[in-house]
Structure 1
Amino acid sequence: MANEMIHDIFSGEPNLSTTERAVSVALGLGIAAAAAQPRPNKWLSLAALVVGVGLALRGSTGHCAIKAASQHL
């Protein structure tokens, strides 16, 4: 199951522009770095880390599954 999920994330046609990719990577890394700072609420830090990594992956692969799904509606 995990292998299928990883394949789905990293496969697929790139559907993001260069600007969208750059913004996603920059925001993702910034959010992930901010999440790494010690905070009293560990769950909020974890959520920010997950969002940051997701954005960085979106930008680095150039593929957004949500954008691809919305284009097929």
Structure 2
Amino acid sequence: MASDLIHDVFSGERNLTTKERTISVVLGLGLAAAAAQPRPNKFLSLAALVAGSLLAIRGATGHCAAKSLMNDSGHSPARI
């Protein structure tokens, strides 16, 4: 079961641009580093660490499951 989850997270077609990947990694690592600072609210620090880690993994793998689901359902993200 755990190996299936790991495979799902780290597999899939790359659907992020280089710019999106770079921003995700930088913001994710920054958020995770900020979470390492001592804070009175431990839950908030844990939430920031998890969110930062997920962003960094998203950027490192180049695959975003949410973006993939939006594209599969026929909705394409708005282009500016």
TM over 0.5: yes
Question: How far has the Cα of 1:41 moved from its partner?
Answer: 0.2
Q: In the aligned structure 1, how far is the partner of 2:72 from the partner of 2:27? A: 27
* Structure 1 match to 2:78: none
Unaligned runs of 5+ in 1: none
Number of matched pairs? 73
For 1:63, the aligned partner's letter is H
Once the 2 structures are TM-superposed, how far is the Cα of residue 17 of structure 1 from its aligned partner?
0.1
Question: One-letter code of the match for 2:45?
Answer: S
Deviation string for 1:7-29 (max 9, x for gaps)?
00111010000000000000000
TM-score by length of 2: 0.90
The C-alpha deviation readout for 1:17-62, integer Å capped at 9, x for no partner, is 0000000000000000000000000000000000000000000000
- Which of structures 1 and 2 has the larger relative contact order (alpha carbons within 8 angstroms, sep 6+)? 1
Displacement after TM superposition at 1:2 (Å): 1.1
Amino-acid identity (%): 67
Residue number in structure 1 paired with 2:38:
38
The structure with the greater share of residues assigned to helix is: 1
Report the aligned-residue RMSD: 0.4
- Any gaps of 5 or more consecutive residues in structure 2? 74-80
For the pair shown, the structure with the greater C-alpha radius of gyration is 2
